[in-house]
Amino acid sequence: MATVNTVNGPVDADDLGVTYMHEHIFMVEPEMQHYWPGYAGWDEDLYVSKAKAALQKLHDDHGVTTVVDPTVPGLGRNVRAVARASEGVDLNVVVATGWYVRKDLPHLFSLPFNDPDAKIKALETLFMRDVEEGLEGTAIKPGVIKCTTAADGLTADVDALLRASARTHLRSGLPIITHSDHSNRSGLVQQAIFREEGVDLGAVVIGHTNQSDDVNYLLELIDGGSLIGFDQCGFASPNAPLDKQLENLAELCRRGYSDRIVLSNDRMIFQDLMPREILGMMWPDADLDSPYGQVHVSVLPGLRELGVGEDQINNMLVEAPRSYFS
């Protein structure tokens, strides 16, 4: 039986239950907080308390038992705060190794690692240190590997990140979860590189695919072997308003692909990249202290109205995540 690392230790994949596959708890940029302590209002005790209440509410109101938090360097991972927030809560939290790179890695990678293979190896070494020793000097082990391909596409550093993630997967057995961009169909680029590196694409979630209005693109990703993440529920995109996203998801379910789809909200309790007053303007109807309910409050009722059955919903929330981690 496969086990999954969580902040509170390993659990059996069969015991994950209802799983949100892409949520953030805290996004706290260490450099900002080092040089400007308390930037954007970060108060760890306050936000740990808010997160603890939000996670317990998610369990109590909707029966969610596992959340995957793919916050990594580049987004402001803080596993000690996440561990405090999950303590005593009836919910598993899975955290990640990896990196969030839109275009370039930090400049410290520029000069010593001009050779692409050296850069890949350096990243792989860092990720494997997380896997073998724990994250940020703790005993907490990652349960997933996070990597990105954004609107800038396949830059040299993004290529190195994808290949290092693939090689870490092959050494560690941890599955991969990605950030992709619908505008350049970068999920297909990610799949191509993972395939070159020998990755079993069944252990990959291509993220943020609901931001595309192109069902054929989504089918290409599924046919390529990956799971796809409808993991920004409640986020409209310029070419995929929320009703179109819901229609696409229902169509994929009608075609028999509910076991290849995972769901989530991609929300957070705190991020210093975007202070809460700006988040409040982005999400005027959202409860910023309890932001994770969009899947159950809006998406699932909408799917039921479109004829999606409970077995298909269970596939997306329980069976697909269990299979991915197995």
The mean pLDDT value for 238-245 works out to: 89
Quick one: tokens of 223?
Answer: 């046919």
The enclosing H or E element of 281 equals helix 276-282
Q: What is the pLDDT of residue 111?
A: 66
More confident residue, 198 or 114: 198
Among residues 29, 30, 6, the alpha carbon closest in space to that of 19 is found at: 6
Among residues 215, 149, 157, the alpha carbon closest in space to that of 187 is found at: 149
What values do phi and psi take at 141, rounded to 5?
Answer: -100, 145
Least confident of 200-204, 213-217, 269-273, 295-299: 269-273
Model confidence, pTM? 0.96
> Residue 184 in contact with residue 154, Cβ under 8 Å?
no
Question: CA-based angle 295:301:305, to the nearest 5?
Answer: 140
Question: What would the pLDDT profile of 97-117 be if each residue is shown by its tens digit?
Answer: 999 999 999 988 876 677 889
What is the residue-averaged pLDDT of the chain? 94
Asked if residue 281 has pLDDT above 80, the reply is: no
Question: What would the pLDDT profile of 44-73 be if each residue is shown by its tens digit?
Answer: 999 999 999 999 999 999 999 999 999 999
Cα–Cα dist 218/202, whole Å: 15
Domains and CATH numbers, the chain: 3-325 (3.20.20.140)
